[in-house]
Structure 1
Amino acid sequence: MISQALQMAADTHNRTSRRPQGRLIGYARVSTDEQATQAQEMELRSAGCETIVQEHGSGASRARPALSRLVQDIGAGDTLVVVRLDRLARSVSHLLDVIEDLTAKGANFRSLRDPIDTSTPQGMFSLQVLGAVAQLERALISERTKAGIAAAKAKGRLPGNPGIRERRPEMLSKMKLAQQAAYGARIQATASQWLPTVKRMRPDHTWDDIARVLKQRGFDWTPERLRRAVKWMVSEGMADASLLRKSPPRPPEHRLMTLVAGIHSSNPELTLREIGTQLERLHERTPRGGTKWAPSSVKNLIDRAKRTGLLMESQSAG
């Protein structure tokens, strides 16, 4: 994944170096509510940042709702700016994950006090060094872990945390918190790829319908796992609570109309025939009960979606 992130960053540098620079967006984080971000804000504004996003959160946690929203909304050509790397990420791997998300959006990253600026060749070199350090760090941790387990077994001791084996309440509580933090990090890492589809289709569609649409795009969600992920996003203030409302009963044709609108909105480049192929893969029957979808049937549903406001008139499929 690191090599992919570095390649994406290099490709983005080649593209963005030929176009006007976008906005400079600052990100200021402090560990507790008692601390203030004014010092970071002053430095970011001096660097040219007109917009600054503030976050209060522990450096030991990847759960950064404000940062996640910023990365989701950032535009191509924009640059995310921080005072120091430790204000953004808790580890080298976390930093590379964030940069990978930024480069996927065509955006850059800059740290004012570190030699990292993905819009420059020097900054890209520093990023490659960080990637090599991260790989070495993981390899060393893996070797130490294996050596520790082997030594423990040689002495007749069981590997792992004794507090967890003995089911001590305080250790189980810490383990639960760690699992929740890891779950949140996984959800945030992919939210920009599936959450827009959920927002377009909820609450008109059931979780089952949306999970089936997302499966066509490579997400192996079950309806319950998808609902749980959205519930977590809502609890963290990263999604609107209306997404969790119960889906109202809908006539079959209305359900098909919103399903087609959801597929089309997720990928406006799909042709009418390609949308029909997706519906056949989802085993959806036509309004007349058939199994084969004609482009005209898809177009009728898209036209209805436009009349009811589910799609903008400017949106169309060929």
Structure 2
Amino acid sequence: MAAVGYARVSTREQNLDGQTDALEAAGCEKVFIEHASGVLAKRPALEDALEYLRSGDTLVVTKLDRLGRSVRNLKEVADGLERRGVGLKALSQGIDTTTPGGRLFFHMLAAIAEFEHDLIVERTKDGLAAARARGRTGGGRIKMSPTKARQARAMYDQKTYTVQQIAETFGVSRGTIYRHLGDDARA
């Protein structure tokens, strides 16, 4: 019945002291530390922590967002812990899945977050459909007309202008010029 901590920061410049102090104060015997973005699929320290945990142990984090990449991912991790008989505590949210009330609170938060995500997706789809009905399409605006693209090609073929100078002439990036010139320009 061990309390095992997991602390994560997104960059090397961020400081873990606040998280590790809170985890040690919560009685964590071992703390796994990660320097990785939460959106990354591979988080070795989290994988090590999950492997280390045994039935009856509790995984402790300072906040739920330290643990999951998304609500769906967080729910998968929590469900996996529950199946193995491992509890989950999030100190700042007061969540403790080792108690019936804590499990209820966690599942309510997860359901609300998932509902909110679904609403955002639905509103986005509705907005895109309304825009399409008005003849608008997604994506960025066209930066160079066919005439400007031909002029850029002519300047490039003269071999007297650099791609940077051509880009500055048309007020676009070098990448835009390269896209309009095609693969032969990058050689």
TM range, smaller chain: 0.5 to 0.7
Q: Which amino acid aligns with 1:108?
A: G
Higher relative contact order structure (alpha carbons within 8 Å, sequence separation ≥ 6): 2
**1:220 equivalent in structure 2:** none
Aligned length: 144
Pairing partner for 1:158 from 137, 140, 146: 137
Task: State the distance in 2 between where 1:153 and 1:63 align.
Answer: 38
Q: CA deviation at 1:126?
A: 0.8
Pairing partner for 2:8 from 13, 29, 44: 29
Q: Which amino acid aligns with 2:122?
A: E
Q: CA deviation at 1:60?
A: 4.1
**1:132-168 CA deviation, whole Å, 9 max, x = no partner?**
2133123202311221221121121234x449xxxx9
Q: Are 1:64 and 2:43 matched, yes or no? A: yes
Task: State the distance in 1 between where 2:48 and 2:121 align.
Answer: 33
**1:42 equivalent in structure 2:** 21
Question: 5+ unaligned residues in a row in structure 1: which ranges?
Answer: 1-21, 171-318
- Superposed structure 1 runs of 4+ greater than 6 Å apart: none
Q: Are 1:114 and 2:93 matched, yes or no? A: yes
Contact conserved, 1:81 with 1:112, CA < 8 A, in 2? yes
Q: TM-score, normalised by structure 2?
A: 0.68
Work out the percentage of aligned pairs sharing the same amino acid.
45
Q: Which amino acid aligns with 1:149?
A: L
**2:55 equivalent in structure 1:** 76
3-state DSSP of counterpart to 1:119:
coil
Contact conserved, 1:115 with 1:122, CA < 8 A, in 2? no
**1:184-219 CA deviation, whole Å, 9 max, x = no partner?**
xxxxxxxxxxxxxxxxxxxxxxxxxxxxxxxxxxxx
**1:42-90 CA deviation, whole Å, 9 max, x = no partner?**
2111111110000001234444221123223321111100112222224
Q: CA RMSD in A?
A: 2.3
Q: Which amino acid aligns with 1:84?
A: K
Task: State the distance in 2 between where 1:155 and 1:65 align.
Answer: 48
Per residue, is there more strand in 1 or in 2?
2
3-state DSSP of counterpart to 2:4:
strand
Task: State the distance in 2 between where 1:135 and 1:87 align.
Answer: 18
Q: Which amino acid aligns with 2:45?
A: A
Q: Are 1:148 and 2:141 matched, yes or no? A: no
3-state DSSP of counterpart to 1:138:
helix
Question: 5+ unaligned residues in a row in structure 2: which ranges?
Answer: 142-173, 177-187
Larger Rg: 2
Cα 1:169/1:122, change in 2 over 3 Å: farther
Q: TM-score, normalised by structure 1?
A: 0.41
